[in-house]
Chains A and B, each alone.
Chain A
């Protein structure tokens, strides 16, 4: 098959040498870098809070809240215990400081707060769910401790009872003999695969469609088809452009890995925690890879077949919907599967070739999938890929003469059957 190899190599070179490819390969990592580095920077630079805790109660509740909140690096906490008579003027002064932006806000723990529950936070960041969550998590145990102590509970018993519990999520799977894995991480990788595939199909599927259309437009197809079969030409295009896409994705992933490595250094430098590099079982990785490749091939073949029906650029815009619609369907099915990985949508979506490559990764990360179902899914996917290459070749053959008006679907079907 030296001629097929020649076709693949030509397509690969043609896509790699475009300006958009070069740009995408370079800009991609910059975006990845931003995605990894910016949150760390924001966390450090934008995230610091200057908060004053006012203990109008005077029972030591304020000190406990301030200590808990202050344990978080993001908060710089001052404790003020005003004499009851001056409470109002202290409050006014704090409001002034918030307005002058010398502090972000103040937490007012009113007299008898443990019983009445009157705790007020006033500040510029009062709308931030994250900040308010932090503050609630600091106040609640302090108030609960206070209440329990009031009821006469021994402080030693109390501290033992309030010791935090760590819940670790480990996914146990029948199909992963290498033992339990962290389920969350498998899911993270699955979502990267699914969204990556979605992007890859949109980007490179369009490339395939454009390539097919241009070959027809500049008539070189006639010369090429005097040497090879149209299915060969299509397969060469799908594989060649796919290889260029994979190379780009590999560069991005390699860069992302570097960024994570660099991010670790940066994170340590900035005093944040170490992000984990996800680890997934090999068997799962193999399924993910098969989904990625199979999904790309199926949709690229569909885009190629659709491109063969187009006779002009304008036309291609219209017909690409035929290929994009099932992709959208698959995309929405993914969310249904995340909600219920064992439900009917998940089962049907795993067997339907248009959806299975996107649906399977999150599903299999969430719940075990029976081996027969997996085998059936990939068999259907493989057969569908070949079917679409074949149909694409037929369409190519019958539309090579057709310039001008695009054939109707009915006409196409008749041609495909006859041709």
Chain B
């Protein structure tokens, strides 16, 4: 494998007595779409800020493109922060050209790029208006443009879908899809497993500042592989359920009527479970060894669902 685009080794960051990130190892391969998955307060934003040199780790190492983050390497990174904001009194064109200039795109070239992007998101006619005169949704579009206008090789999106209306969610998904097609490396943080599952090929699950699972999505699932069985019975009966629960190697059972989801303990063989059920005369209609979903991995590793039933933040 080529050198990772982002590499953290033993990174640690504390705020006063609060440990935000502890002993974090992370490697994001080139052209990967990488999800930092974890509940709120698990250290996602701190990790991103360390990658971007907004905050320096108390211990450990951070490298992007093979060297410590600095002027040369940060120019190749685009960023969409979770808490978004722009200079309200600047015009749409000026702020985007300015932000591109901070990435060392000369203003002349920047203006051309900004025009093209505004055209693409349908804001070309607002180029001369101030940011504050735009609707929230339009400002979010500017924020996307700011993250990609300098053609970065690495794009970092912190909770990118939070607070977006459905139209902008789709717009962002399109942008991400384009970035993937172009082979750029994408890092995004989220507490929504479905986003990670659907969009990413690599994942790092964070809990309380530590990585609890890390690798390609396939690897992460395989580590937990063959440990789930989907079982379908002809009809539910108390006898059948008791037989399922008594079977060897069964770690947990949930069911919805005659459809069971069985978690096996480490080292248990699914065949032993099937043999047991047949011997007990249970009428099996469906028996499938399943790849775990990220949700299951998450539950198992973190011990609780990632979303603490928080209300969706709609701005």
Contacts and interface: CB of A to CB of B under 8 A. Distances in A.
Contacts of B74: 226-227
Given A14-B87, A17-B89, A400-B54, A219 B81 contact: yes
A418 B85 contact: no
Contacts of A400: 54-55
Interface string A375-405: 0000000000000000000000100110000
B71, B75, B102, B106 — which one has the most chain A CB atoms within 10 A of its CB? B102
Contact of A225 (B15, B54, B83, B89): B54
A401 B15 contact: yes
B95 to A, nearest CB: 9
Interface stretch (A2-10, A165-173, A358-366): A2-10
A416 B90 CA distance: 32
Given A219-B81, A220-B85, A227-B74, A3 B102 contact: yes
Given A225-B54, A226-B52, A226-B74, A2 B87 contact: no
Interface in B69-109: 71, 74-75, 77, 79, 81, 83-90, 94, 98-99, 101-104, 106-107
Contacts of A221: 85
B87 A218 contact: yes
A133 interface: no
Given A14-B87, A218-B85, A224 B55 contact: no
B266 interface: no
A222 interface: yes
B194 interface: no
Interface in A261-311: none
B98 A10 contact: yes
A223 B74 CA distance: 12
Interface string A219-241: 11111111111000000000000
B102 A218 contact: no
B106 A2 contact: yes
Interface in B39-73: 52-56, 58, 71
A226 B55 contact: no
Contacts of A418: 58
A3 B101 contact: yes
Interface residues on B, range: 20 to 34
Contact of A219 (B79, B85, B90, B98): B85
A196 to B, nearest CB: 28
Contacts of B107: 6
Interface residue SS majority, chain B:
loop
A215 B94 CA distance: 16
A419 B56 contact: yes
Given A226-B54, A227-B74, A6 B98 contact: yes
A6 B101 contact: yes
Contacts of A228: 102
Given A226-B79, A397-B55, A2 B146 contact: no
Contact of A227 (B84, B90, B103, B143): B103
Contacts of B89: 14, 17
Contacts of B143: 223
A14, A224, A227 — which one has the most chain B CB atoms within 10 A of its CB? A227
A92 B103 CA distance: 89
B101 A218 contact: no
A411 B102 CA distance: 32
A222 B143 CA distance: 12
A112 to B, nearest CB: 80
Contacts of B88: 218
Contact of B102 (A215, A227, A401): A227
A220 B87 contact: yes
Contacts of A219: 81, 83-85
A2 B89 CA distance: 23
A220 B86 contact: yes
A224 B53 CA distance: 11
Interface string B232-274: 0000000000000000000000000000000000000000000
Given A223-B81, A226-B77, A227-B74, A218 B98 contact: no
Given A3-B101, A10-B98, A218-B85, A223 B15 contact: no
Nearest to A407: B16
Nearest to B132: A218
A10 B75 CA distance: 19
A222 B83 contact: yes
A6 B88 CA distance: 17
Contacts of B81: 219, 222-223, 226
Contacts of A223: 79, 81, 85-86, 99, 143, 146
B140 to A, nearest CB: 13
A408 to B, nearest CB: 11
Interface string A3-32: 100110010011001000000000000000
12 contacts: A2-B101, A3-B103, A6-B101, A6-B102, A218-B85, A219-B81, A219-B85, A222-B85, A223-B146, A226-B53, A419-B55, A419-B56
| 10 nearest A-B residue pairs (beta carbon) | A219-B85, A227-B102, A6-B101, A218-B85, A226-B79, A222-B81, A219-B83, A226-B52, A220-B85, A3-B102
Given A218-B85, A227-B74, 10 more contacts: A2-B101, A3-B102, A13-B94, A220-B87, A223-B85, A223-B143, A224-B99, A226-B54, A226-B74, A397-B56
Interface of B: 15-16, 52-56, 58, 71, 74-75, 77, 79, 81, 83-90, 94, 98-99, 101-104, 106-107, 143, 146
